[in-house]
Amino acid sequence: MILLFNYLIFPGFLFSAFIGLMAAWVDRKITARIQWRVGPPWYQNFIDLIKLLGKETIVPQGSKITFLLAPFLGLLSLILVATILGVTIRSPLESFMGDLIVILYLLIIPAISIIIGASSSRNPLASIGASREIKLVLAYELPFILSVVTVIIKSAGTIQIGSIINHQINFGANIASWSGVIAFIVAILCMQAKLGFVPFDAAEAEQEIMAGTLIEYSGLPLAVFKLTKAILLYTMPLLLIGLFWAKDLSPFVLMGKYIALLVIIILMKNTNPRLRIDQVVRFFWGPVTLLGIIAVGLALLGK
Amino acid sequence: MMNLKLKALTKSLWVFHAACSPCNNCDIEILDVLTPRHDVERFGIILVGSIRHADVLLVTGVPNYKTKERLKRIYSQAPQPCLVVAVGNCACGRIMFKDSYNSPCAVDEVVPVSAYIPGCPPKPEAIIAGVVKLITKVRGKK
């Protein structure tokens, strides 16, 4: 019963969806202010979702069941991540052994669900988007895991988020060291790519391949994908705070840290042009992976 | 329930822009509506890349033999409810291309048009006024 409550309401679905949609609104509003516009009202994303629920759902020829179920696969696994993270941050002792590994795997599933959905729609532009999404996942996973390995080394080899947080509460935040700072920068870049925001949004380039992976989606499945994106915007910064910046996790401090990360994401989104997919792969496998390796080395030296 | 759906629809119109061989002046004015001066994202109106996401099909120009078929197909691909707005004199009623050899029909003979915004090209203010009239029409109907 408590599990179900956790999953569906408090740190899980309803709460993370609400925070995520509000964060998506903050994103739209700040983007508008940077472009000297007024921007939408705060309830805009909720209205968009309600509207999409009322629209007709068109299913293209092709694999119908996969096409319709793919968005839910991504949403359900992402809610699980939000629940595990939320419960862990609320009380670090409630986490279980190895939940960091579980979260790393579950966080790839939304990208995989986008790939499955796009390729089952039989649209050529969607398949271009899917192939770009695959390359993007291959590109950012390596440095992201390197930065997580840095955190594991710093926290005395534990792979449990609860004890990583406890370690930081006792011995100072991971970000307060050279290896921690470098790994944090790497993780922020990977987070931007995971969210599919502007320097790394080649997979759904709206002007270029017409929303790419989402091109054939309409109505309810599109709403589910938008919701997944919004919840990812809540989950990823929270994960980074838990891994790197968890010295003080009282609600107001946590909120401040979350907003700081959100502002970094939005500013990065608004001040960069879109990279081509080969540039993205070269960027992540070149300089960013090098930074990750340096971070791991420094962590092994105890810096 | 129906009311909520309709209200949500009018508060977040996603626009797909179909250019049926226009002279591009109307398209420039449509882009002007999205710029800081007029900023229709205030009302939830954004341009989308795919017709599957769209609530409004914006048509500019006079359809010719080729774009007529494309327009018909695009409209059939749109998820219902989908409103059609004809922007510019050409799309409203073919004006001087009425007897042209390559102009088989007007826009409203191909797809059902919900709102006409005349002008050559219409001012951004006129486009916004047309959208407001469209919204009141949609809300008043149900």
Domain ranges of chain B: 2-136
Q: Residue B49 in 3-state DSSP?
A: coil
Confidence of residue A289 (pLDDT cuts 50, 70, 90): very high
Least confident of A73-87, A203-217, A241-255: A203-217
Query: What integer pLDDT is reported at residue B51 of this predicted model?
Result: 86
Contact A40 B41 (CB under 8 A): yes
Query: What integer pLDDT is reported at residue B47 of this predicted model?
Result: 87
Query: What integer pLDDT is reported at residue A89 of this predicted model?
Result: 82
Q: Please tell me if residue A219 touches chain B, with a CB cutoff of 8 Å.
A: yes
Which residues of chain A neighbour B12 with C-beta distances below 8 Å?
A: 44, 47-48, 51
Q: Is the pLDDT of residue A6 over 80?
A: no
Which residue in chain A is spatially nearest to B11 when comparing CA positions?
A47
Chain B: give the shortest CA distance to residue A257, in Å: 28
Domain B2-136 has CATH 3.40.50.12280: yes
Mutation target among B53, B128, B142 for the A interface, most CBs of A within 10 A = B53
Q: Is the pLDDT of residue B77 over 70?
A: yes
pLDDT above 70 coverage of chain A, percent: 99
Chain B: give the shortest CA distance to residue A3, in Å: 32
Query: What integer pLDDT is reported at residue A63 of this predicted model?
Result: 77
Once rounded to an integer, what is the mean pLDDT over residues A97-122?
88
Contact B42 A41 (CB under 8 A): yes
Chain B: give the shortest CA distance to residue A60, in Å: 10
Which residue in chain B is spatially nearest to A213 when comparing CA positions?
B50
Contact B55 A28 (CB under 8 A): no
Q: Is the pLDDT of residue A300 over 60?
A: yes
Average pLDDT, chain A: 86
Q: Is the pLDDT of residue B1 over 70?
A: no
Contact B41 A28 (CB under 8 A): yes
Contact A54 B77 (CB under 8 A): no
Task: Give Cα A287 distance to the centre of its chain.
Answer: 21
Query: What integer pLDDT is reported at residue B2 of this predicted model?
Result: 64
Once rounded to an integer, what is the mean pLDDT over residues A233-256?
85
Q: Please tell me if residue A33 touches chain B, with a CB cutoff of 8 Å.
A: no
DSSP B38: T
Once rounded to an integer, what is the mean pLDDT over residues A287-293?
91
In B80-109, the residues whose Cβ lies within 8 Å of chain A are 80-81
* Residues in a beta bridge with B117: B87
Nearest to B79 among A41, A48, A218 (CB): A218
Q: Is the pLDDT of residue A167 over 80?
A: yes
**CA pair distance B90, B20, nearest whole angstrom:** 10
Confidence of residue A50 (pLDDT cuts 50, 70, 90): confident
